[in-house]
Structure 1
Amino acid sequence: MTPRRRLRLPPAWAPYVFISPFLILFAVFGVFPLSFSLYLAFQTWEPTAGLASMKFVGLENFAFALHDEWFWKSLSNTGWLALASGVPQHLVAIPLAYFIHTSFKQLRNGVVGAYFLPYITSTVAISMMFSTLFSTDYGLINLCLAELAKVPGLDWLTGGQPVDWLNKAENIKPAISLVVFWRYVGFNVVLYLAALQTIPKDLYEAATMDGAGRFQQFWFITLPSLRPMIYFGVTLSVIGGLQLFEEPFILVGARGGTDQSGMTTAMYMYRTAFEFNDFGAASAMSWLLFAFVAVLTWLTNRAFKPRGPSA
């Protein structure tokens, strides 16, 4: 019997064979959904009727989205939430990371782990916990505000009545922003703490010998050295803030609560696709959102671009 001939691939193919699992998964779960979404943006489609029901409509879906008041309201809500939760994250995370870096030695990892824990905790668990905290009658937040209102001069905090956080339109966005801030501030603390550990100690020693105080060292040494990491963190906050979905969806429901005050663009896209069965318009909105993210990311890059003769 003649031995079977084994299939032998040329050695030059070996790297492609080894990375082929990643390429296949990326093509199936990355390239194909993006390509199909772009294709859908120019189609009208009733999913229950099958793929044969697709009909090319050109730019009608984009025109519908740009003239849709709910789309612009959702975009306005998203921008409000992104600013209200993203800006305080960095304003708090930078000095907090500096404090942990300079004040904790042995317990640093434990303290950082405590701040990082909300980031890796289930979004559903966090939202359910805050739903209880925001409860009108029995929530801990209203209880604390009621106790503070007993202090002379602070009776304006509650106006004599418990705050209805998740049912009144004017309170929904601040409540969601607080949840997002609490969840992601620890992630930024970890980023800035990692960057702080790369700053040479010689700079601080030289500044101390020149008579610079802690605040001067922070302002003239720490902040300029953190500039690349601040750019990275702000960029992540911009992208994540404009894609906000889980927290408001669980806290106030798919419709965004009273007067759609908590309805983000991602939530409206979800409603357009799965509640209104208009996948074409939802796809067009997703690409419009991508354009907004790209523009804001470019503006962030311009804001953090080094200025000077070499810029």
Structure 2
Amino acid sequence: MDWQAGALNKMLLGMHIINSPINWFQSTIATPITVGFINWWMWFGYTMIIFMAGIQAISNDVIEAAIVDGVNGIQTLWYITLPLIRPTVIYNVITSLIGGMTMFDIPFVLTNGDGSPQGSILTMVMYLYNTAFRNYHYGYAAAIVTALFIMIGIMVFIAYKIMNRKPVYD
């Protein structure tokens, strides 16, 4: 991600996608995208292992019965695989939601805790850290963490309710 000698800029320049190197950590648009990509890359393997475990837990008898009934691949995915891995999807969505709302390490390391540029990647947990341990406002930090806890609880409840709806069949 180095803007002068980084592999990504060299690759994009070599493919003639960009004309000049991008300073990934000085742009208010590129910095959040970069942090998002780093987090996606960091958690991709774990998420895929969970999904693979959910898919492998589907009984072969169900798939074979669907094939005998004449179901094609897309119908198998839509009507058999996805409904049967719903608990796995709910787990991944909720843990990703909690992880996203409590993100601290990547933005903190990349910006020395200030969320630069212009606070574009200042997360609530970084703000909490700065309030408590750099500015020493412990009471305000306690209020922030309480609000964060409530917000995460509400968001998880909403995500769970949306994802755990029972399908209506005719």
TM-score bracket for the superposition, by shorter chain length: over 0.9
Match of residue 205 from structure 1: 64
Q: Alignment partner for residue 10 of structure 2, among 137, 143, 148?
A: 143
Consecutive unaligned residues in structure 2, runs of 5 or more: none
Q: Deviations over 1:183-226 (max 9, x none)?
A: 11111111111111211101111222233222221121111101
When the two structures are superposed, what TM-score results if normalisation uses the length of structure 2? 0.93
CA distance in 2, matches of 1:292, 1:162: 39
Kindly state the Cα deviation for residue 135 of structure 1 after the two structures are TM-superposed: 0.4
CA distance in 2, matches of 1:276, 1:252: 17
Q: Alignment partner for residue 170 of structure 1, among 19, 29, 33?
A: 29
CA distance in 1, matches of 2:130, 2:165: 42
- What are the residue-to-residue correspondences of 1:220-299 with 2, within 5 Å? 220-299=79-158
CA distance in 2, matches of 1:207, 1:146: 49
CA distance in 1, matches of 2:56, 2:84: 11
CA distance in 2, matches of 1:203, 1:301: 26
Tell me which protein shows more helix as a share of its residues: 1
Match of residue 194 from structure 1: 53
SS of match in other structure, 1:135:
coil
Structure showing greater radius of gyration is 1
Q: 1:247 to 1:146 in 2, by over 3 A?
A: same
Percent identity over the alignment?
28
Match of residue 50 from structure 1: none
Kindly state the Cα deviation for residue 307 of structure 1 after the two structures are TM-superposed: 2.4
- What are the residue-to-residue correspondences of 1:1-311 with 2, within 5 Å? 134-149=1-16, 157-158=17-18, 160-307=19-166
Consecutive unaligned residues in structure 1, runs of 5 or more: 1-133, 150-156
CA distance in 1, matches of 2:107, 2:158: 26
In 1, are the aligned partners of 2:3 and 2:22 still within 8 Å (CA)?
yes
CA distance in 1, matches of 2:99, 2:20: 35
Calculate the aligned-residue CA RMSD, in Å.
1.3
Kindly state the Cα deviation for residue 308 of structure 1 after the two structures are TM-superposed: 5.3
In 1, are the aligned partners of 2:90 and 2:164 still within 8 Å (CA)?
no
SS of match in other structure, 1:218:
helix
SS of match in other structure, 2:118:
helix
- Return the structure number with greater relative CO, CA threshold 8 A, min gap 6: 1
CA distance in 2, matches of 1:308, 1:252: 45
Kindly state the Cα deviation for residue 234 of structure 1 after the two structures are TM-superposed: 0.6
